[in-house]
Amino acid sequence: MIPLLSLSDVAKTFASGTHALGPVSFDVAEGEFLSLVGPSGCGKSTALRVIAGLLSPDSGEVNWPGGKPEIGFVFQEPTLMPWLSALENAHLPLDLEGMPRAEANKRAKDELGRVGLIGFENAYPRELSGGMKMRVSIARALAAEPKLLLMDEPFAALDEMTRQELDDDLIRLWRNESGGAREKMTIVFVTHSVAEATYLSTRAIVMSPRPGRIVADIALSREPRSDIGYRFAPQFSADANKITQALWKAERDVP
Ligand code: ADP
Ligand code: MG
């Protein structure tokens, strides 16, 4: 099958001399939920920014065999404008693109609904909890109808229960359970949480400490399953153990 995107021998050294990443090579298939797992500072954010085109690699390349699609980016911080309402924040990028106001409004409103924020359209960020702010940030990314969603530790600053709720909601969004005609999204999700990667993804790429290289590429058996029960399923532990073992092996193999 033709991949959605393909990284070949991508490496990045910053001007400071820090060799942050690679070389790494991997393909991402359409419709996948891929997690990049690795210790802090191993180049996960760098890899995501290279994929998004926000940063150019100093060797290797990113290829898009079917053409570069619309990309959404969700950062660890919700980065909302404090003086704009949830709705205004969610359609801001569409306004900047020059989309007619009525359409931008409608899209943003629909997405706030899909992320569970009906009734909060006019609330300001200071009136929202951390989890709700992150929901606005996700709605803002989805309003552009991305085919590829890149997420950089989006739930890392949230408390554990809120994080698990958002994990479940993200799976529903990825499965497109709210219906609609949109295409199925591909998600590349950065996390250093083994449990989160295991729970969310169809595949995990495990990275070594900096400069990040791929130490394992693990197909996960997350489907079919029920969301709540899966955290207690033997298969969940088995998959999590595979990721943990790969992380430990990479730590020990560092010279
Ligand atoms: P991760 O997301 O896995 O924690 P990053 O990709 O953010 O790691 O960073 C990898 C390494 O590159 C770190 O050592 C970090 O300090 C360094 N780094 C990241 N961005 C820059 C930059 N713009 N300039 C210099 N060094 C950077
Ligand atoms: Mg990072």
Q: Exposed, middle or buried, 174 (CB in 10 Å: 0-12/13-18/19+)?
A: buried
Domain boundary among 119, 146, 173: 146
φ/ψ bin of 173: left (φ > 0), alpha (ψ from -120 to 50), beta (otherwise)? alpha
Whether residues 247 and 187 share a domain: the answer is: yes
Check pLDDT > 70 for residue 190.
yes
> Is the model's pTM score more than 0.75?
yes
Q: Tally the C-alpha atoms within 13 A of residue 217's C-alpha that lie toward its C-beta.
A: 7
Task: Quote the pLDDT of residue 223.
Answer: 65
Residue 75 within a domain: no
Residue 121 within a domain: yes
* Average pLDDT score over residue span 179-203: 88
pLDDT grade for 221, boundaries at 50, 70 and 90: confident
Task: Quote the pLDDT of residue 177.
Answer: 72
Task: Quote the pLDDT of residue 219.
Answer: 94
Domain that holds residue 49: 5-69+149-253
- Check if 12 has its Cβ closer than 6 Å to any atom of ligand 1: no
| Opening angle at CA 234, ends 233 and 239, nearest 5 | 100
- Check if 14 has its Cβ closer than 6 Å to any atom of ligand 1: yes
Tokens at 177, concatenated: 């359970």
Task: Quote the pLDDT of residue 249.
Answer: 87
Task: Quote the pLDDT of residue 224.
Answer: 53
Domain boundary among 102, 124, 146: 146
Q: How far is the CA of 18 from the centre of ligand 1 (A)?
A: 8
* Average pLDDT score over residue span 12-24: 92
